[in-house]
Homo-oligomer: A and B are copies of this chain.
Amino acid sequence: MTAPDGNIKALTFDVFGTVVDWRSSIIREMQAFGRDKKIDVDWIAFTDAWRGLYQPAMSKVRDGTLGWTRLDVLHRMNLDQLVQQFNITGLSEAELRHINRVWHRLAPWPDVVAGLSRLKKKFILATLSNGNIALMVNLAKHARLPWDVILGAEVAGHYKPQPQAYLNAADMLDLNPGQCMMVAAHNSDLVAARSCGLQTAFIARPDEYGPQQTTDQQAEHDFTYIADDFIELAEKLGC
């Protein structure tokens, strides 16, 4: 591992997958919804398909095909497509809106709240997610995530891994990129952050995509820190 420079002031967090277990949360809630409404759908496939449309939707914003569009709206465009694809009928607008906001009601991984509470004593804790501000705020209220500040895509007007997303977070905190450390469960996010000068911490979330997951099983690069969870990260950072 690269020697840390000892000057870290802020930790900037990826959220989906790193902080919250989006997949199990959505599957659980949609299965309950399906039972209640007697809608027979493979909700595991539905959830994976929804997440599968995530990067393509943001790519349209990144390449300018679509003007700036917040993630709640992209999620809804993708949901509308899946409702057709999975032949789900009879949902009201209020139900569709409620389903779309399942992303505001995700559960944290078991180590997260305790780990963040320790890290918060020593560092500024910022979100650096592609989720929009309202989504991040509602998710934090739901999951009791003690952020100091919501930064990321909507504040920057750019989706990760565009460099502006990382550089904006440091700038908004009036810090140099090297005073910030990106915390993520995804090698690609950390590589992009590192190329902007941020320090990096890889957290292993090998089940984020379920038992079949093959990617991001471990750190594939020379990151500043590597930890199994937020508790281990807090220990390594002396919190």
Interface residues of A (CB under 8 A from B): 72, 124, 132-134, 136-137, 140-141, 147-151, 154-155, 172-175
Q: Are B124 and A173 neighbours in the complex by a CB distance under 8 Å? A: no
| Known A172-B133, A174-B134; contact A148-B141, beta-carbon cutoff 8 A | yes
Closest 6 pairs (CB-CB, A-B)? A134-B174, A133-B172, A137-B149, A149-B150, A134-B173, A137-B148
Given contacts A141-B148, A148-B141, contact A154 B172 (CB under 8 A): yes
**What is the bound-complex CA distance between A150 and B151, given in angstroms?**
9
Contacts of A172 in B (CB 8 A): 133-134, 154
Distance, CA A154 to CA B147, complexed state (A): 19
Copy total for this chain: 2
Whole-angstrom distance from the CB of A39 to the nearest CB of chain B? 26
- Contact yes or no, B149 A124, CB < 8 A: no
Q: Which residues of B contact A151 (CB under 8 A)?
A: 133
Bound: A147/B124 CA distance, A: 13
For A173, the chain B residues whose CB sits under 8 A away are: 133-134, 137
CA distance A72 to B137 in the complex (A): 25
9 pairs of residues in contact across A and B, judged by CB atoms under 8 Å: A133-B173, A134-B173, A134-B175, A137-B148, A137-B173, A140-B148, A141-B148, A150-B150, A154-B172
Indicate which residue in B72, B155, B174 contacts A174 across the interface (CB closer than 8 Å): B72
Chain B residues with Cβ under 8 A from A155's Cβ?
Answer: 155
Bound complex: CA of A44 vs CA of B132, how far in Å? Answer: 43
Nearest B residue to A174, CB-CB: B134
Docked Cα-Cα span, A85 to B85, in Å, equals: 71
Docked complex Cα distance between A72 and B132 (Å):
26
A148 to B175, CA, bound (A): 21
CB contacts (< 8 Å) of A174 on chain B: these are 72, 132, 134
Report A173 CB to chain B, min CB distance, Å: 5
CA distance A199 to B235 in the complex (A): 45
A72 surroundings in chain B (CB, below 8 A)? 174
